[in-house]
Amino acid sequence: MTPWILKADKLDKHFFLHEQARRIPSTFQVDLELHPGQLLAITGPSGAGKSSLLKCVWRTYLPTGGHLWLREADGALTDLATASEQHMLALRRTELGSVTQFLHCLPRKSALDVVAQPLVDAGVPLAQARERAAELLRRLNVPSHLWAVAPATFSGGEQQRINLARGLIRPVRLLLLDEPTASLDQVSRDCAIALLRELKAAGTAMLAIFHDPALVSALADGEVRVLPHPSLPGGSASADQPHRQAA
Ligand SMILES: Nc1ncnc2c1ncn2[C@@H]1O[C@H](COP(=O)(O)OP(=O)(O)OP(=O)(O)O)[C@@H](O)[C@H]1O
């Protein structure tokens, strides 16, 4: 097997609300090992810290304990728990990608250009980026009469397909997926599964939160179960046996 691309070692995240002097526990003692071409499903009860784990990798959240090693394309090992902001910005431009369930885009920009933008930002000529965007929109069954329209007025499922196309258009080595298919119907979900399988086959590693067990069984190579902090209800078992990765 190829060497891992991401390894978490007792990763912790808690929040401190200074004005209330209150500590909010989140992700607790997570260990995981993710290889190129693998998808690991992050599972666990609501509030256990699944999204926080992905945000620690993307570094919207700064981990409060443990290590989060990324093996970069040149083989260098970087601990995302301590990497500089500048380094993180560079990694987000080159190696990391993230798709959530929410589409954030500028008003008045066409759906086609919203999807093409990450490629344009990466230096791909506009015509070529639009061609690839059109291909993805077709694959995700977004009707062509919507391509020139700004997605602000789109239905939830349409917006989510735009968001997914935008999130998948730029090739990355590690992709984070936080419920990117939550509002999709069965047909669109199957299209998304096919696209994600192609990315896996091309070697993209993925950490994903899917609430739909059908997606987990269709795509996951293993599971990382995030359990609540031992101080929380349902968390006592995790004190002795924190989050284990199951193959
Ligand atoms: N920015 C923040 N400030 C304070 N607390 C936060 C913050 N982000 C998350 N939390 C808290 O961390 C805990 C874990 O949240 P998180 O969203 O990671 O859980 P989750 O497992 O993804 O939940 P769900 O399945 O319901 O989406 C929750 O108690 C949440 O209130």
Q: Any idea where the domains of the chain sit in the sequence? A: 6-17+24-225
Answer yes or no: is pLDDT of 238 > 50: no
Percent of the chain with pLDDT over 90: 74
Q: Which residues lie closer than 8 Å to 167 by C-beta, 6 or more apart? A: 97, 98, 99, 175, 177, 180
Shortest-distance atom of ligand 1 to CA 49 = 18
Residue with CA at minimum distance from ligand 1 atom 9: 52
Cβ 48 under 6 angstroms from ligand 1: yes
Of the CA atoms within 13 Å of residue 49, those in its CB half-sphere come to: 29
Encode burial over 5-17: b for 16+ CB neighbours within 10 A, e otherwise: bbbbbebbbbeee
Distance in Å, CA 244 to ligand 1 centroid = 20
**pLDDT at res. 33:** 97
Confidence of residue 245 (pLDDT cuts 50, 70, 90): low
Determine the topology of domain 6-17+24-225 in CATH.
Rossmann fold (3.40.50)
Amino acid of residue 17: L
Residue 79, judged by CB atoms within 10 A of its CB (0-12, 13-18, 19+), counts as middle
Q: Which residues lie closer than 8 Å to 222 by C-beta, 6 or more apart? A: 38, 40, 41, 245, 246, 247
38-77: pLDDT as tens digits: 999 999 999 999 999 999 999 999 999 999 999 999 999 9
ipTM, 2 dp: 0.97
Cβ 37 under 6 angstroms from ligand 1: no
Q: Report d(CA 92, CA 191) in Å as an integer.
A: 26
Distance in Å, CA 208 to ligand 1 centroid = 16
Confidence of residue 212 (pLDDT cuts 50, 70, 90): confident
Amino acid of residue 84: S
Of the CA atoms within 13 Å of residue 119, those in its CB half-sphere come to: 23
On whether the CB atoms of residues 38 and 1 are closer than 8 A, the answer is no
Cβ 15 under 6 angstroms from ligand 1: yes
Tokens of 39: 């998808």
